[in-house]
Amino acid sequence: MLKNKNILLGVCGSIAAYKSALLVRALIKAGANVKVILTADACNFITPLTLATLSKNPVYTQYFEAETGVWSNHVELGLWADYMIIAPASANTIGKMANGLCDNLLTAVYLSAKCPVFFAPAMDLDMWKHESTQDNISKLKSFGNLMIAPNKGELASGLFGEGRMAEPDEIVTFLNEEIRKKLPLLGKTVMVTAGPTYEAIDPVRFIGNHSSGKMGFALAHQMANLGAKVTLITGPTTEKASDELQRIDVVSAKDMLDACLKYYNHTDITIMSAAVADYTPTNVAAQKIKKKENSLSIDLKKTTDILATLGEKKTKNQILVGFALETTDEENYAKQKLQKKNLDLIVLNSLNDKGAGFKTETNKITIFNKAFEKKIFETKLKTEVAKDICNEILKLLELNKNL
């Protein structure tokens, strides 16, 4: 959930500030980009150098650095963040946040932030129980801020009770769960096909194509990022899938058909981006074919059209997305395929477009819906193209929900 997310960590003056080093490490390990803001009192408990080293980013402590003349723009920091965490959040800072006071960089950034804000209180038992603290916490919650509740345990004063800041792994878990709750595809099952198929001629040779699988893998990862449970069925490829995906490796068109039929009935959204062979050898030689004659003829037969097969089985609650890679009369062929195979969307690639097609890091697509309405996209990295395709699917889901 935190991969590639920008997280702004605010650290206040508390003995629990030592945990911020562990928290930064945990966030980095989860794949996040982390920047840290320290209050002046926090610098008494942990050094900016420690957190700068762990986060691999400069640590911010004040508006203006007199020695360097560098101004820390609180608005830019607030806009950069996907999520802001104040951990530890002292009683003093909680009071300032609740009442709109901004006499330091951290509270100024808080007031400027457009992203969700989490705070993990850390203070002594009596401070935690005080009515003013509880009123300030209630006020922060009413603003939409999310509290990561403190634990019970031995406190710095020697007292035992509530006030210990949550452990770094608990904070990361809390963040993951809160992010997941708001994902638009939570509870949805998705099947994505990717890569080429290899049709055997003999034990050594095969008929294949130039598909790398990059587009399908990008789509599978983006669907998982949106909360879906994703099954990725892929032909031979060197692409790597993250652990959150259920990866099914296949070789031939028949293998891919069997895998698709196994999962399709339990799938809400299916994206067929694989480049499946249209023909396969009628007979596969048991031994390697020796080079004897000047020419060799191989009898081919049609493979089963997987997309059409799934289109026939599709229910009204399922979404089926196909791809069309064309070189001539592209739009007409794409529309025919959309209608003939009972698709909800079709993604058109033209090999005539620079930066589109196989083995590239980029792609250029046009998407048609059932009404033949088209949307043209610029050439982009395939990871960004995947986001565009998924956004169109989300719009379709919302439309279907309102019908």
**From the CB of residue 269, how many other CB atoms can be counted at a distance below 10 Å?**
23
3-state secondary structure of 161: strand
Q: How many angstroms separate the Cα of 290 from the Cα of each of 202, 207, 295, 300?
A: 10, 17, 12, 19
In the numeric block, the tokens 């059209």 are attached to 305
Beta strand 229-234 pairing with 206-207: unpaired
Nearest 5 degrees, angle CA 153-CA 148-CA 79?
A: 145
Return the closest-CA partner of residue 1 out of 215, 148, 177, 191. 177
Residue 336: C-alpha distances to residues 88, 190, 269, 310 (Å): 59, 25, 21, 16
**3-class DSSP state for residue 35?**
strand
**What are the strands of the beta sheet with 365-369, ordered from one edge?**
246-249, 229-234, 189-194, 269-272, 319-326, 345-350, 365-369, 374-376
**Distance between CA 337 and CA 135 in Å, rounded?**
61
**Residue-by-residue DSSP string for 37-61:** EE-TTGGGTS-HHHHHHHHTSPEE-
Q: Based on the number of CB atoms within 10 Å of its own CB, is 222 exposed (0-12), middle (13-18) or buried (19 or more)?
A: buried
* Matching residue, tokens 């490490």: 25
- How far apart CA 392 and CA 152 sit, in angstroms, is 47
* Given the residues 6, 57, 151, 209, the one annotated as active site: 209
- The CA distance from 150 to 142, in Å, is 19
Give the 3-state secondary structure of 292-359: CCCCCCCCEEECCCHHHHHHHHCCCCCEEEEEEEECCCHHHHHHHHHHHCCCCEEEEEECCCCCCCCC
- Judge whether 209 counts as a catalytic residue: yes
Q: Are 148 and 166 in contact (CB under 8 A)?
A: yes
Q: Are 319 and 393 in contact (CB under 8 A)?
A: yes
CB within 8 A of 373, min separation 6: which ones? none
Residues known to be catalytic:
209
